[in-house]
A and B are shown apart, each in its own frame.
Chain A
Amino acid sequence: MALKRILFSFLLVASYSSLAQGVLDSPVEIARPRSLHSLLVELEKSRPVRFYFLEEWIEFLAVDERQNGKSLKVVLDEVLAGSNISYTFLFNYAVILSKDPAIDLQRESTLRAAAEAKKQIDVVTLGDRKTDYVPGKTVRLRGIIQSETDESRMPGVTIFISNLNVSHRSDANGEFAFTIPSGEHVVHFRHLNYSEKVIDLKAYRNGTVDVVMHETPRMLEEVEVSDQAIVNRRVGESTLKLTDIKRAPTFLGEVDVIKSLQIQSGVTTVGEIASGFNVRGGTVDQNLVLYDGTPIFNTSHALGFFTAFNSDNLSAVSFYRGGIPAEFGGRVSSVLNITSKEGNYRKWSGSGGIGIISSYFSIGGPVLDSTSINVSFRSSYSNWMLRAAESNFKDLNNSSVVFYDGSLKLAHRFSSKTRLTFSAYASHDEFSLADDTLYSWKNLAGSLRLDHTHRDNFFSSLTLSAGQYGYQVQEPDPGNAFKLKYGVFYPSLNYDVSYTGKHAISFGIHNTFYRFDPGELERDSDESSSAQIRMPSEKALESAIYIGDGFDLTDKLFVELGFRLSMYNRIGSATVYQYEEGSPRLPQNTIDSTAYKNGEIVKTYLGPEPRASLRYNIDGQTSVKVGYNRMYQYLHLVTNTAAVTPVDIWQASNSYFKPQIADQLSLGVFRSSKDNMYESFIEGYYKKIENVLDFKDGAQLILNRRLETALLSGTGLSYGTELSLSKVKGRLQGFANYTWSRTLRQTDGANSTESINNGKQYAANSDQPHVVNLNWRYGISRRHFFSGNFTYHTGRPMSVPISSYTVDGVPVADFGDRNTHRIPDYHRLDIAFVIEGNHKIKKPWSGTWVFSFYNVYARRNAYSVFYREQNTRLVPYRLAIVGTIIPSITYTFKF
């Protein structure tokens, strides 16, 4: 009531305020440190002035000799700076101190809302308000965030200080450190699939706040599982929410990370069921896909129908399409960083899912004291479906589509500061039709990582990893029986260090050795006419050192600078052919060759890769971000198809294939509103890529010892604008995004056979100028959800014949310039209905049903357009991969 009276009196007299300042200008004598309260009382006695205030407001404020002789106005200004108390001088004698109630009210409101939402609220006090509180000064806060379930440290936790509207994030070791103004704050700790932790923090001095977070035993809707607030996110960065992915409509019941990625801004695909994804006009091979730090070369199952990662076994998925940090390199378009789940250190738990095409099962728990294990396996039973399908196609019933993937993660804690993690991943695919050629491909990845915390904010990790990708084509026909094998093996050793302080500094050194076996053709039966060919293996070493520094230049401007210096060495043995100057690069124009011995350096490339990212926070809800990155890519996927095939080959840079170099500039404005309920952004980008490979017409790519005679080098140019509006809280969540972009290519060789479209710019295969995605999820109740997705994009470019003719009775289409026309536009609606089990925390079994309907209105979207002869005419046809609505049902469970 006292407060209200003072406020009332303040409002009453405010309209009569005077500018007279005589009393305020007179100097004040302060001989010793004393409380402000005692000073004001003394001044009232000695001077014609009256002070109006509540004692509790200023009991912690003090003055000392440094203010001796200064005017009363200066003393008050200095002492009250940084506090929420201000003063007004009235009637030439009254100094009215008033406290701004808005901050307290907001804080109380936030805490009340958290309590009503049954969020866990802890009260933490650092220091004593009376003795330690100095308004305007900052205090340093640090701590460790651990999972209650298994005591593992939790990286990537969003720490949101709601009254300041600022966010931080825990580092790779689950630690955080930042400064905040001394005083009272409400701090929210948020992480996907964990209950939000709220701390009512009273911080008057530096201190440590260790946090334990509780795993959500269900996919909570009412708990905000938002990732970092959009205004504080890095330009071009997004985090996929695994709960969203699991509640989204699926294709044939398979929960799919990459399909979910394909509806993000700036991400497209060249076809409905095409493998991989295209980021801002880049090709599929320009995406660095890391599984626990190891690159994965083929991310698809069943020729691109599904993704090779079991979504249930992932703990975090981060995606960078611009402003890529210096620690990542080797690909020029994007980074998809996937972290697999770690086992529980305390108890055994598991999960699984049963779908139409495949099923999976994961189990994890403690194996020894301080050691945990997590094992996951997924396998298809599509063969059963194929054979059960009622079809007169003999070929279909004798066909085979098999895939499986599995992972293992072992983690051991030597101490609270040292941890060793072993992660292994394998995927395998087989496809054959009617006992015909068998195609199989596999990924293997394994890593051993030692994490060590040197000091509270000084962390390092040493990672030894190895990956392998390979495919085999096996022809069973005895007369032609062969096995064609391809493989790449890539061990690597990385050392990364990070320091968290006013400057978040990271640096490290990465080394990867590549051994390519670009092709081996083996005769597979005695009577086979197959040739026996073994292409010489190719070796290369890719190394990089990097350093990055992120810091607040001002309280509004965050700067992140990085530099990566990559070096690539193509190592012998090798033979490099020289071709006649001015003539097309063809075998018949060879003039000389140089042989390099085993281990000899054939070619070296050095790649300076500057990175920069700026974020200017305008008002806590709006930020402007700028990002620039230069990236080098030394590996090239050699393909002559728009969609990646499982039998495409990767080619290491050499004397003829220069590294791809991408420069990308991004600029965006980001805004969150209504307590981060709505997020929106507009982001523009301009990207140029040098040395993009293309192919000559009819080029033989497999088993070609002189690929340089089959391929061409050009430039890629992409630019566009992405708009997005998201609602990330409430019963209805979702987003709408629209992207306008262009993706162009130019291959202008020395002569017509080495140019495409006469050297002019043309639309790349992934050029889709207009892309619209709508995605929603509505919580009908706590257990029932209705979700959906609508996507539209301009048809991808295609080439069309400009005339036709026959030669010796064989019809031939005479194609004009490449990609001058487009296939019809694409649009599709998918919906899903999700029923989750009851939400009791202690229940032993939790099951979820997902009923999905893919392509609801059964649109026959053109996948490709082709020409075939009909009644002595060449006529165009449209191939639609999915011609009808595809319903599916999936059951998932946790225990």
Chain B
Amino acid sequence: MKPLFVILLVLVILDGCVDRLPLPEVTTQQKVIVDAMVTEGAGPHFVKLHVTSPIGTNLENATPLTNATVMISDNVGNMETLTQTSAGVYQSRVITGIVGRSYKLTFITAQNKRYESPFEEMHPAGSMENLRFEYRPNSVITGDVTQDDAMAILVDSRGVDNERNFFRWRWSGIYEVETYPHLRTRVEAVMGGPPVVIPDPLPCSGYIVNNNQIQQVDECECCNCWVSEHSSQAIVSNNAFVSQTAFNNIETAELTITRARFFKKYYVEVEQLSLSESAYNFWRNVQLQANGSQNIFQPNIIRIRGNMTCVTDPTEEVAGVFSVSAITRIAGFIPRNLIDRPVLQDSVKADCRVAYDNSTNVKPPFW
């Protein structure tokens, strides 16, 4: 079922359109955000504490909540106080996630306000059986009515008998890009004549200029990079519609086919995270909110509540969620030949580590 199904029809037949609007005038209400997860195993487990940002501001620059005392405890008496490793990021060292146990997050801010979650049980993650890819020409709407080809990433998974099997899926991908820093040029003014273009290879390219010619003297350090990306959508199991253990054809991502992504090969890993009921409700509402935003039937808004409360002031709303998840994974390369058209190469004359966000020149061991 495609949540945006009606939009396509409207946009093309009636020349409907999507325009950006100015930000509405609202009074931002600052709330504490909790982004915390205990996963199966020794960890480390991370708790990120921030305060909400005004709408329209960069989400990566959220104001951290520093110097809080953060504790994770379990239902068998273990408790650990986490260490702040960077502004607003707290990390565990000892406490271990074990399926069947319940975990609770507590933190006290510098202003002495205390926040707590209920005990959340860690359920088994089930298994993932198949990872498939599906090439979809002209299926992605970007901007107004332009369209792109896409590659869908699909998985089949199985839950565990006698469990409620609330799951969330997330993916991460790595693709290789190639740039041409040795072809960089610069323009220099010449007295009495037109400006001239002269070679200017980046030092990391391994090339130098010799007699106005470029000459390789070393290995290129910034020509090949591996760019990583991860999911930014909530995708949860639809437990009301499927049998309790089988989840088939779960579309975890639809990647727009760009020159960079699919010039070479693409590695994808999909994770299946088990969820407690309260965390599942949080992620399900996030998914509903995202799907509903462009729905022609105009779903009413959903105010998303997590599982954290402020003990000191019960009327204070706390954003975010504390998840307790076991994780199972499946990974593979997307065969380039699935795309039935040539994918042209980007000719970027720059350091690939700079040209592409989240990139590294360290080749992954499995590549």
Contacts and interface: CB of A to CB of B under 8 A. Distances in A.
B241 A482 contact: yes
Contacts of A640: 299-300
B198 to A, nearest CB: 34
B232 interface: yes
A692 to B, nearest CB: 14
B341 interface: no
Contacts of A386: 9, 13
Given A805-B50, A878-B18, A389 B12 contact: yes
A703 B241 contact: yes
Given A395-B138, A529-B248, A803 B55 contact: yes
Contacts of B170: 808-809
A247 B26 CA distance: 45
B297 A812 contact: no
B18 A879 contact: yes
Contact of B281 (A401, A436, A698): A698
Interface string B19-45: 111111011111101110100000000
Given A437-B5, A799-B301, A806 B62 contact: yes
A527 interface: yes
B54 A803 contact: yes
Contacts of B230: 809
Nearest to A858: B15
B264 to A, nearest CB: 24
Contacts of B299: 640-642
A802 B56 CA distance: 10
Nearest to A385: B13
Contact of A877 (B1, B5, B19): B19
A527 B248 contact: yes
A807 B137 CA distance: 31
A28 B22 CA distance: 92
A802 B24 CA distance: 9
Contact of B297 (A521, A641, A807, A816): A641
Interface residues on B, range: 35 or more
A303 B18 contact: no
B302 interface: yes
A378 to B, nearest CB: 20
B10 interface: yes
Given A815-B301, A873-B59, A879-B7, A477 B249 contact: yes
A49 interface: no
A698 B304 CA distance: 8
Contacts of B232: 809-811, 869
Given A475-B1, A530-B243, A641-B297, A697 B28 contact: no
Contact of B9 (A271, A396, A521): A396
B195 to A, nearest CB: 34
B78 to A, nearest CB: 24
B231 A810 contact: yes
Interface in A388-447: 389, 391-396, 399, 401, 433-434, 436-437
B58 to A, nearest CB: 5
B294 A874 contact: no
B137 A394 contact: yes
Contact of B139 (A394, A530, A877, A882): A394
Given A530-B243, A810-B286, A812-B286, A881 B30 contact: no
Interface in B272-323: 281, 284-286, 288-289, 293-305, 319-321, 323
B354 interface: no
Interface in A481-519: 482, 484
Interface stretch (A286-294, A459-467, A859-867): A859-867
Nearest to A798: B301
B248 to A, nearest CB: 3
Nearest to B30: A803
Contact of A697 (B6, B233, B294, B304): B304
A63 interface: no
B156 interface: yes
B296 A881 contact: yes
Given A529-B242, A806-B35, A813-B289, A877 B137 contact: no
A883 B27 contact: no
B26 A643 contact: no
Nearest to A432: B5
Nearest to B132: A479
Interface residues of A, number: 93
Interface in A59-104: none
Interface in A844-895: 860, 862-869, 871-884, 886
Contacts of B244: 531
B2 interface: yes
A801 interface: yes
Contacts of A303: 6, 296
A393 B8 contact: yes
Interface in A744-768: 765
Contacts of B294: 864, 866, 868, 879
A818 interface: yes
Nearest to A270: B298
B300 A641 contact: yes
Contacts of A801: 26, 55
Given A810-B233, A812-B304, A882-B15, A877 B20 contact: yes
Contacts of B302: 697-698, 815
B217 interface: no
B298 A642 contact: yes
Nearest to A803: B52
Interface in A359-409: 385-386, 389, 391-396, 399, 401
A802 B55 contact: yes
A695 interface: yes
B101 interface: no
B321 A807 contact: yes
B277 to A, nearest CB: 9
A867 B292 CA distance: 10
A645 B27 CA distance: 33
B52 A697 contact: no
Given A529-B248, A800-B24, A883 B16 contact: yes
A587 B321 CA distance: 22
A697 B233 CA distance: 19
Given A393-B147, A530-B243, A805-B53, A271 B298 contact: yes
B17 interface: yes
B1 A804 contact: no
B60 interface: yes
Contacts of A808: 35, 37, 170, 323
A865 B230 CA distance: 27
Nearest to B157: A529
Interface in A522-545: 527-532
B349 to A, nearest CB: 23
Contacts of A803: 28-31, 52-55
Nearest to B54: A803
A571 interface: no
Interface in A807-839: 807-816, 818, 821, 824
Contact of A860 (B17, B55, B147, B156): B17
A433 B139 CA distance: 11
11 contacts: A393-B138, A394-B138, A529-B248, A802-B29, A805-B33, A807-B35, A808-B323, A871-B58, A875-B56, A878-B19, A884-B15
Interface of A: 270-271, 273, 303, 385-386, 389, 391-396, 399, 401, 433-434, 436-437, 473, 475, 477, 479-480, 482, 484, 521, 527-532, 640-645, 695, 697-698, 700, 702-704, 765, 798-816, 818, 821, 824, 860, 862-869, 871-884, 886
Given A805-B50, A809-B231, 16 more contacts: A392-B138, A393-B8, A433-B8, A473-B1, A477-B248, A698-B284, A804-B52, A808-B323, A812-B319, A865-B21, A867-B293, A868-B293, A871-B58, A878-B20, A879-B16, A884-B14
